[in-house]
Structure 1
């Protein structure tokens, strides 16, 4: 019962994250959103990391941790926020469900992972779901609609690259260390992004004093980036990795509900159809074959 409560709670938190991003975009901007959510999440996890500092295996692979922080949080969270300047939070959440598919594709292209025929079919089906979301207007992806759908695809590819890199180079590194360092690195990425876009001034006392900003920072950083990761790894430890990653199927659904209730975003037939097709693609791309019992 506790495992399923954690699963539902995690899906509600991560689904609501897309709404919090939408709320933060106007007052603090794209990279300000990344900076604030990562800083808040890192501050939540830092005391836990300090308490377990003696259990950390040395030497610490700092270069790999920085790399993962950039590609698992800094870049994708910036591009997700950028996407939500043009598309609904619920659409971004549905697109985010492509992550397992992109992880497999990145593994094939850059990490010498062999994909089975079924997995290729799943990848093709998943991207067919994107076409449904775009109402089959593929040319728009290379024009006005790139900021939105295109940037979300880049975000999921970045997630996939970071996942494969972590599996290959950080297998023996403590999850708490990886998560905390990733958030600190991503906070730096967010701050650099603010410097380049000239939006540092948006983090004024007046802006940070707005209730919606604080609610979103706490929701995105403390819950979405901090506590949510602890829930996720609790499910991995006490359940299984497959059970924990099943939250991927629930997040778009909860995000659609949150978007409808809090942002009055429409739940269109194309959105639902695209979600179902992407889910089918994820299932085909990640399903493990049944093992035949030898009598």
Structure 2
């Protein structure tokens, strides 16, 4: 458990800063260019590791499942998060990201036959109340122009929730390095496709010390090493345990957002965060043994 909690803490620190890195990279790389850069930078540091461990790779390789994970745990959600950060402060985006465990539980129930206790259902409902508080109860934001902020962020976390459950079910015996590397390469392909229809990467703007540092931070650490830690927690712990990394991410992201961008830490933001985290706590509690017997 010590290793799992160490991985959890490390991942929360890395991903908390990633929200800031996305903001810094957006202007030069664009939405989908940011996805390409972070995926390729992460894959580059993992390919040599995968080559060294090639004899340990499971056969036959589950290509279909790996591609699905690459699309739904890297390419699409990272694009949606980047879109969100064109409209939201990085701190608000990180708070909405904290709904990932709620989606993990809900989609696990709907699609993967996961049993949920009454407390978990209350947690899911509580989490969505927290989202409404963060939005100042302006539900129209989800259907109006502001959809490209709150709405896209929620879609991204739903992708995370699905892919977490799918990884545990379909790739339980697949090596972490293989899952991570292939998902990043697939994510890069998704980014290239998206970039064909949107803003291209302005290479000249990336050739400076700050941009290169951001690429290393977001790609090598935020994508490569972080994805290794995440899949390690899914495989050695559980999908629910891995998704609890979003408990700590908002705290670090809010602090980084204030340090780098002077983003205000409002009362509404903090109240929304606390309600969402309470919902996450309830929604990730294990079903009691007695309840399992009753529903089986």
Q: TM-score, normalised by structure 2?
A: 0.90
Q: Count the aligned residue pairs.
A: 288
C-alpha distance in 1, partners of 2:39/2:92?
Answer: 23
Within 5 Å, which residues of 2 pair with 1:146-295?
A: 146-197=147-198, 199-200=199-200, 202-204=201-203, 206-232=204-230, 240=237, 246-289=244-287
Q: Is the 8 A contact 2:4 2:237 kept in 1?
A: no
5+ residue gaps, structure 2, are 291-296
Within 5 Å, which residues of 2 pair with 1:44-63?
A: 44-63=45-64
1:4 deviation in Å?
A: 6.1
Match of 1:73 in 2: 74
Q: Is the 8 A contact 2:87 2:148 kept in 1?
A: yes
C-alpha distance in 2, partners of 1:185/1:234?
Answer: 19
SS across alignment from 1:48: helix
What does the per-residue CA deviation read over 1:122-164, in whole Å, with 9 as the maximum and x for residues that have no partner?
A: 1110000000000111122211221110000100111111112
C-alpha distance in 2, partners of 1:232/1:142?
Answer: 32
SS across alignment from 1:256: helix
C-alpha distance in 1, partners of 2:256/2:228?
Answer: 22
What does the per-residue CA deviation read over 1:17-57, in whole Å, with 9 as the maximum and x for residues that have no partner?
A: 00000001111100000000000000111111110000111
What does the per-residue CA deviation read over 1:80-104, in whole Å, with 9 as the maximum and x for residues that have no partner?
A: 0000000000111111110111011
SS across alignment from 1:267: coil
The change in CA–CA distance for 1:261 and 1:49 in structure 2 (over 3 A counts) is same
Match of 2:35 in 1: 34
Match of 2:122 in 1: 121
Q: Is the 8 A contact 2:176 2:228 kept in 1?
A: no
Does structure 1 residue 82 correspond to structure 2 residue 80?
Answer: no
What does the per-residue CA deviation read over 1:175-223, in whole Å, with 9 as the maximum and x for residues that have no partner?
A: 11111100000000001100121x22x332x122132221111111101
1:170 deviation in Å?
A: 1.2
1:248 deviation in Å?
A: 2.2
C-alpha distance in 2, partners of 1:35/1:70?
Answer: 12
C-alpha distance in 2, partners of 1:220/1:196?
Answer: 23
Q: Is the 8 A contact 1:82 1:147 kept in 2?
A: yes
Q: Is the 8 A contact 2:23 2:85 kept in 1?
A: yes
The change in CA–CA distance for 1:170 and 1:4 in structure 2 (over 3 A counts) is closer
C-alpha distance in 2, partners of 1:188/1:160?
Answer: 22
- The Cα RMSD (Å) is 2.1
SS across alignment from 2:27: helix
Q: Is the 8 A contact 1:32 1:203 kept in 2?
A: no
The change in CA–CA distance for 1:6 and 1:168 in structure 2 (over 3 A counts) is closer
The change in CA–CA distance for 1:186 and 1:243 in structure 2 (over 3 A counts) is closer
Q: TM-score, normalised by structure 1?
A: 0.91
C-alpha distance in 2, partners of 1:219/1:118?
Answer: 38
C-alpha distance in 2, partners of 1:43/1:101?
Answer: 32
Q: Which moved more, 1:170-179 or 1:31-40?
A: 170-179
Q: Is the 8 A contact 2:36 2:187 kept in 1?
A: yes
Q: Is the 8 A contact 2:131 2:276 kept in 1?
A: yes
C-alpha distance in 2, partners of 1:188/1:236?
Answer: 24
